[in-house]
Amino acid sequence: MSRRALITGVAGQDGTYLCDLLLSRGYEVWGIVGPAPGDFRERAAAIDGLHALEADMTDTDSLLAAVETSRPDEIYNLASVSSVAESWTASVVDAEVNAVGLVRLLEALRLFAPAARLFQASSADMFGETLVQPQTEATPLCPRSPYAIAKTYAHTMVRAYRESYHVYAACGILYNHESPLRSPQFVTAKITRAAARIKLGLESEVRLGNLDARRDWGFAGDYVEAMWLMLQQDLPDDFIVASGETHSVREFCQAAFEHVGLDWERHVVVDPKFFRPVDPTVLCGDPSKAHRVLGWAPKVGFRELVGMMIDTDLVREAPALGSDRG
């Protein structure tokens, strides 16, 4: 009998890669697609074998019904208001989805699927402006944005439910992970899409904020494998999922434009309006625990990841070139 998995945020970047992984492993996959319309819903409809459910992280009854209907062996909570920058203007929604939404899901698990195993997507942003380099699972949390504060609340509640109710709940402290599915609202996709459009002659520049901000970037397809591995262990635990190396936004620009044979300095413009009110400058994760316990290591390197995103964007933007000339 195949195992059953429930994925919140199934049509997002991570949800799409995780869904593909679980289906390839013979799972029966249920996914929560609501309430956002548009591309995510269309992407979910295109996943062959996915059982789609309508539910909302801000609505307790719908989450209870989703867990009762899917009867999952594993639950992956990937639903999130995931833009740190936008969390400053949508802090209430951020808290409802990223913080309280997780508690609603834990309650649904406790009431209707107490034997199920839950994965919570925690964030490296919880470390804030830490002085500890690199960060480990024991590094103190110091969130400095509404997004990070909401994620810290959820992360702490997982630990509380694990200790108080003895549920199997594990947290993956995820560092920045990208892919060709990444939305242009994120700086990585903004850069690669702009580089592709500039190469095709559709644009001449891209405006960015802090080029010195450094991030630990990896490939989303690698990171969902770590999520799955966490729920295959005898005991639940928390793991940092990271590449263990950092690169600046400036380096990302350089790699992207070099991939298409362009000089990034001729096309990148620093615009103060894209600076965040508070922006942690260096976040680098130590994934040695995941290496040791899970046997996990990232397969896709930094430049390979950038190239993968650029190549996809070149194909995606090519039709626009024809329509503009037509």
In the chain, alpha helices (H): 13-24, 39-45, 60-70, 84-87, 91-94, 101-112, 146-165, 187-199, 220-230, 249-259, 288-289, 302-325
Give the integer Cα–Cα distance in Å for 126 and 144: 8
Q: Is residue 71 part of a domain?
A: yes
Check whether residue 229 and residue 255 sit in a common domain: no
290, 226 contact by CB (below 8 A): yes
75 and 110 assigned to the same domain: yes
Exposure string of 73-91, with b = 16+ CB inside 10 Å and e = fewer, is bbbbbbbbbbebbebeeeb
Domain count, the chain: 2
Same domain, 131 and 234: yes
Residue 28 is assigned to a structural domain of this protein: yes
Q: What CATH number should be reported for the domain holding residue 8?
A: 3.40.50.720
Q: Could you tell me if 113 and 68 lie in one domain?
A: yes
Same domain, yes or no: 161 and 202: no
Structure tokens at 73: 């062996």
Dihedrals φ, ψ of 295, to 5°?
70, 25
Residue matched to tokens 């295959």 = 232
Query: In terms of DSSP bridges, do strands 177-178 and 218-219 run parallel, antiparallel, or are they unpaired?
Result: parallel
Q: Which amino acid is at 68?
A: E
| Same structural domain, 123 and 266 | no
Secondary-structure percent of the chain, ordered helix, strand, coil, rounded to 5: 45, 15, 35
Confidence (pLDDT) at 184 = 86
One domain for residues 73 and 210: no
Question: Considering the domain boundaries, does residue 107 fall inside one?
Answer: yes
Q: How far apart are CA 16 and CA 277, in angstroms?
A: 31
Query: 157-215 pLDDT, tens per residue?
Result: 999 999 999 999 999 999 999 999 998 889 999 999 999 999 999 999 999 999 998 89
Domain span holding position 315 = 183-215+246-283+300-325
Same domain, yes or no: 207 and 305: yes
Q: Domain check: are 233 and 133 in the same one? A: yes
pLDDT of residue 45: 64
**177 φ/ψ angles, rounded to the nearest 5 degrees:** -135, 130
Positions of the chain with pLDDT lower than 70, given as ranges: 34-46, 82-90, 276-281, 320-326
Whole-prediction pTM value? 0.92
- Tell me, yes or no, whether 290 lies in a domain: no
CATH number of the domain enclosing 264: 3.90.25.10
289 occurs within a structural domain: no
The rounded radius of gyration (Å) of the Cα atoms in the chain is 20
Q: Are residues 206 and 86 in the same domain?
A: no
What residues contact residue 61 under an 8 Å CB cut-off, 6+ apart?
Answer: none
**226 close to 275: Cβ distance less than 8 angstroms:** no
Distance CA 310, CA 196 (A): 6
Residues 6+ apart with CB under 8 A from 65: 55
Segment 231-237 long-range contacts (CB within 8 Å, at least 24 positions apart): 231/74, 231/117, 231/118, 231/119, 231/168, 231/170, 233/170, 233/293, 233/294, 236/117, 236/162, 236/167, 236/168, 236/169, 236/170, 237/170, 237/293
Establish if 154 belongs to a structural domain. yes
Same domain, 152 and 78: yes
